Structure 1
């Protein structure tokens, strides 16, 4: 994956992970995922993975 693609995919994963976390905690309603604790656990894992991917793509290498 090229560096800009890593950053874009990483940011998207952070946003999706945050949404899943909020749905799992019941702050965002209107979904079958709302209020389900599993998504409150999976969401931060996805967000952290996305953050790592975005940071690895943003880091300049010689």
Structure 2
């Protein structure tokens, strides 16, 4: 597996989840808390991370 893509994907999913929770006001203590922009950008970043992980897995399969 292309570990660098997998690691980057996992980091992006984690960052996206944190941004979403901060934007929704679930994680307090930041200037991002309660700001709708982060509630929108968070899932987008998380989806990019999922796409990176999936493409890394597909490129690693034999015969493809």
TM over 0.5: yes
Where structure 1 has 5 or more consecutive residues not aligned to the other structure, the ranges are none
**Which secondary structure does the structure 2 equivalent of 1:56 belong to?**
helix
The Cα of 1:58 is off from its aligned counterpart by 2.0
Alignment RMSD (CA, Å): 1.3
TM-score (norm 1): 0.91
- TM (normalized to structure 2)? 0.88
Q: In the TM superposition, what are the counterparts of 1:1-62 in structure 2 within 5 Å?
A: 3-59=2-58, 60-61=60-61, 62=63
Q: Which has the larger radius of gyration?
A: 2
- Aligned-residue offset at 1:57: 1.0
Q: How far apart, in 2, do the equivalents of 1:16 and 1:23 lie? A: 10
Number of aligned positions between the proteins? 61
**Displacement after TM superposition at 1:55 (Å):** 1.1
Whether contact under 8 Å (1:4, 1:58) holds in the other structure is no
C-alpha displacement of 1:19: 0.3
